Amino acid sequence: MKRMCLIILASIALSVFAFGQSWAGSVDKLIDKLVEKKILTRSEATELINQMQAEEEKEKKEVAVVVKEAPKTFEIPKWVENTKVKGDIRVRYETQDTNGDTNPNRNRERVRLRLGVETKINEQWVTGVGFASGDDKNPRSVDQTFTDNSDSKDIWLDYVYAQYTPVAWVSIIAGKFKNPIWKTEQLMWDSDINPEGIAANIKFEPVKNVELFANIAGFSLDEFSTKANDPYLIAFQPGVNLKLPGGMYLKVAGTYYDFNYVDGNNWTASYGSGLTKNSNTQDAANNWIYDYDSFAGDIEFGMTKIPGPISYAAVFGQYVHAIDVNDNNDGWLAGLKFGDKDIKDLGDWQLSYNYRRLERDAWPDFLPCSTAYNGYTNIKGHNAYAGFGIYKNVYLSLTYWDFRHIERTKDDRQDVLQADLNVQF
């Protein structure tokens, strides 16, 4: 009988361990009742209770060990916690009219997707990878045109890089990355171009409100399997950013561009504009005849604490001079912008305007903004922009381009109007 009772109590004890402490009081009462019925002696009951308590403590310790070890087994790596995802979507309607040609006005709808992931590996290393819509043969555009009966659109590797920051004032980046050269506008560089190579940024503040910086870069321009000399570019840009009283600032930089093995090649013909004969000078075989080594300068003066509806305003300019070209070798841009510095929320707005003149051989014609007369050089004209926030991270914008060739034999004015819906995330 006693053996049966012990078996029953052992089973109950297991139930206590399985279902929690709420059963423990009932087991104690049951043991007391068995002692009262003289089925168990008091010493046997005490011994049984002690054994049950010992087993319970052992179980608690085992559970505690499992709980303690579990976070180590399923812990999320730090690099995952330090990963950021960002991007934007743009839907555009565009109309283009060029005088003097035989084509009708062009009207098209376009879409752009950009998606990027940045991971902070540790205190000194950051990696990034980005994908975008567009065309692998045109580094100056990531737009996709609505065409071909709603065909699927391509996605390409837009950038991929590793960045090393050995000390707070120096960073080195290698791979395919956002252009590190500071610029106020797109006179010389289309904003969609992500150069390939290596670059370093140096930035420090010797005295309060005075920031000195320098960008040094080496960009690969192409690779030939049948030639020994591949074209490349070395750029050096020193600059200063002054924080002035009353929320004003002045930022100035000069850049020297050293192009190598550009002359004698026509390797950019697939997306350059030289073959139009309205842009860079070429020989009879459509090869570039200049290397386009250049000096360039950028300047911007702004105010960020203006009372009233206009909280921000700035004037800016760019200049470029090709030093190995004898004629038609200058380019410049001047403009202003005002409103809000960034459009992020409902009611934010900004207006801007610039005028530019880029002579035929002032700069390689495969690099300037692709919308300014198809990205040609030998152009001059106006560019106006208006943007307005309609929700948080959602805004509408209108951009107008009015350009002509500087050297021309007829009226070849080109007008482009772009209406955009922009969504950022």
pLDDT tens digits for 313-359?
999 999 999 999 989 999 999 999 999 999 999 999 999 999 999 99
pLDDT band at residue 32, thresholds of 50, 70 and 90?
Answer: confident
Q: How many domains does the chain have?
A: 2
The answer to whether residues 90 and 65 belong to one domain is no
Q: Which has more confidence, 410 or 48?
A: 410
Distance CA 318, CA 252 (A): 10
How far lies 212's CA from each of 182, 252, 333, in Å?
13, 10, 24
Residue 26 pLDDT greater than 70, yes or no = no
Are 248 and 315 in contact by the 8 Å Cβ rule? The answer is no
pLDDT tens digits, one per residue of 120-150: 999 999 999 999 999 877 899 999 999 888 8
The answer to whether residues 112 and 17 belong to one domain is no
pLDDT tens digits, one per residue of 73-113: 556 777 788 899 999 999 999 999 999 887 888 999 999 99
The answer to whether residues 37 and 172 belong to one domain is no
Minimum mean pLDDT among 73-82, 267-276, 370-379: which range? 267-276
The answer to whether residues 94 and 54 belong to one domain is no
pLDDT at 18: 44
Quick one: tokens of 386?
A: 């208006």
Residue 27 pLDDT greater than 80, yes or no = no
Average pLDDT, integer, range 23-44: 70
pLDDT at 221: 92
Q: Regarding beta strands 155-167 and 414-424, do their DSSP bridges make them parallel or antiparallel, or are they unpaired?
A: unpaired
pLDDT tens digits, one per residue of 277-298: 568 988 888 888 999 999 999 9
pLDDT at 422: 98
Domain of residue 42 covers 2-74
Instruction: Return mean pLDDT, the chain.
Output: 88
Are 250 and 242 in contact by the 8 Å Cβ rule? The answer is yes
pLDDT tens digits, one per residue of 170-229: 999 999 999 999 999 999 999 999 999 999 999 999 999 999 999 999 999 988 877 778
pLDDT band at residue 20, thresholds of 50, 70 and 90?
Answer: very low
The answer to whether residues 32 and 108 belong to one domain is no
The answer to whether residues 9 and 118 belong to one domain is no
pLDDT at 266: 75
Of 46, 74, 102, which closes a domain? 74
The answer to whether residues 25 and 108 belong to one domain is no
The answer to whether residues 300 and 234 belong to one domain is yes
Quick one: tokens of 7?
A: 């078996």
Of 74, 100, 129, which closes a domain? 74
Are 412 and 383 in contact by the 8 Å Cβ rule? The answer is no
pLDDT at 16: 47
- β-sheet bridge partners, residue 332: 319, 357
Quick one: tokens of 307?
A: 């009372």
Domain containing residue 117: CATH number: 2.40.160.10
Of 74, 101, 126, which closes a domain? 74
Give pTM, 2 decimals. Answer: 0.81
pLDDT at 135: 81
Distance CA 270, CA 196 (A): 18
pLDDT band at residue 14, thresholds of 50, 70 and 90?
Answer: very low
The answer to whether residues 152 and 267 belong to one domain is yes
Minimum mean pLDDT among 107-111, 246-250, 264-268, 300-304: which range? 264-268
The answer to whether residues 162 and 48 belong to one domain is no
The answer to whether residues 36 and 60 belong to one domain is yes
pLDDT at 119: 96
Instruction: From 76, 88, 176, select the one nearest 129 (Cα to Cα).
Output: 176
Distance CA 10, CA 247 (A): 79
Residue 368 pLDDT greater than 50, yes or no = yes
The answer to whether residues 306 and 392 belong to one domain is yes
pLDDT at 315: 98
Are 296 and 187 in contact by the 8 Å Cβ rule? The answer is no
Residues 6+ apart with CB under 8 A from 257: 233, 234, 235, 292, 293, 294, 295, 296
Minimum mean pLDDT among 98-102, 105-109, 236-240, 308-312: which range? 98-102
Distance CA 257, CA 249 (A): 26
Residue 49 pLDDT greater than 80, yes or no = no
- β-sheet bridge partners, residue 421: 91, 396
pLDDT band at residue 19, thresholds of 50, 70 and 90?
Answer: very low
